[in-house]
Amino acid sequence: MVVETELTDDEVDRIFRALADATRRDIVRRTLTAQPSISELAEYYAMSFAAVQKHVVVLEKADLITKRTQGRTTLVTANPVAIARAKGLLDKYEQLWHSRVTQLDSLLAQESP
Amino acid sequence: MVVETELTDDEVDRIFRALADATRRDIVRRTLTAQPSISELAEYYAMSFAAVQKHVVVLEKADLITKRTQGRTTLVTANPVAIARAKGLLDKYEQLWHSRVTQLDSLLAQESP
DNA sequence: GTAACGTACAACCAAATGGTTGTAGAAACT
DNA sequence: AGTTTCTACAACCATTTGGTTGTACGTTAC
């Protein structure tokens, strides 16, 4: 079963933009298998807490992660559905490419009947 | 068979960054099924030739397309291998997420022997 | 109650991005 | 030869990005 992708250009922009940064990709990775708080995440990176928090905001606006406030902490969880959607987009491209090959095939078939 | 992905952070940055723009995604789409010249591509978009040319440069540096000079024109072809690599990265994330689920499963299994 | 912790957010700054126009050169057409 | 076409690239500009520090506020711990 294929994941339904009804994404606007802006949404796709935000998803790929969010993934175009190594720190943010690492945050996605970590939050796929755990639910760290923002300050826990910040310990891993050589930058300020505020910088990490801004990365989390970018990921949240791309819907790649969701935040859940737990007392005074904010737990971060990756959203695999958004990842699957991004993959679905790339799948469309690959299918397009395969269609080119089949078009070429049928063209060759026409040329040598 | 899985596509081998030995990509540096910078390379991944460039790939996702290149895909984070609707015009560039459209160029990729078009060059998957055809090999237009840059000026042909430029006709589709409400921007200058130079702007389109710069988009092509961004895609080329991400290895998402390759240029081939044909006389005085430059033909643009998408590189589906790079697309497959990007998909491979997202696949890794999904696998990571699935591993979390199985970890949780085994944890539950431990708790209720 | 007070101190410490975790988060949010504003203001600021340097660098990158996405667009523009202009110039120059190679290839093709007459 | 001269003109047109296509491409490359520089210079410039406004906006966005990715980082910083500082401040404020709710929650937890003593």
Task: With a cut of 80, say whether residue B31 has pLDDT above it.
Answer: yes
Residue A42's contacts (CB-CB under 8 Å, 6 or more residues apart) are A48, A49, A52, A53
> CA of B44 to nearest chain A CA: how many angstroms apart?
17
Q: Is B82 on the interface with A (CB under 8 A)?
A: no
pLDDT of residue B1: 62
Question: Angle A9-19/B9-19 helices, nearest 10 degrees?
Answer: 170
Average pLDDT over residues B77-99: 88
Instruction: Work out how many domains chain A is built from and give that number.
Output: 1
Answer yes or no: is B3 within a domain.
no
Per residue in A27-79, pLDDT tens?
Answer: 999 999 999 999 999 999 999 999 999 999 999 999 999 999 999 999 999 99
Answer yes or no: is A3 within a domain.
no
pLDDT of residue A113: 45
- The answer to whether B50 CB sits below 7 Å from nucleic acid chain D is yes
Phi–psi pair at B76, nearest 5 degrees: -115, 130
Q: Is B22 on the interface with A (CB under 8 A)?
A: yes
Surface of B (45-74) touching A: CB under 8 A: none
pLDDT of residue B6: 80
- The answer to whether B54 CB sits below 7 Å from nucleic acid chain C is yes
Phi–psi pair at B75, nearest 5 degrees: -85, 140
- Among residues B84, B96, B80, the alpha carbon closest in space to that of B3 is found at B84
pLDDT of residue A59: 97
Residue B86's contacts (CB-CB under 8 Å, 6 or more residues apart) are A90, B12, B15, B16, B19
Q: List the CATH number of the domain containing B99.
A: 1.10.10.10
* Nearest neighbour of B29 by CB, restricted to A12, A22, A96: A96
Answer yes or no: is A2 within a domain.
no
Domain that holds residue B92: 9-111
| DSSP letter, residue B2 | P
- Among residues A88, A65, A64, A83, the alpha carbon closest in space to that of A4 is found at A88
More confident residue, A21 or A106: A21
pLDDT of residue B113: 45
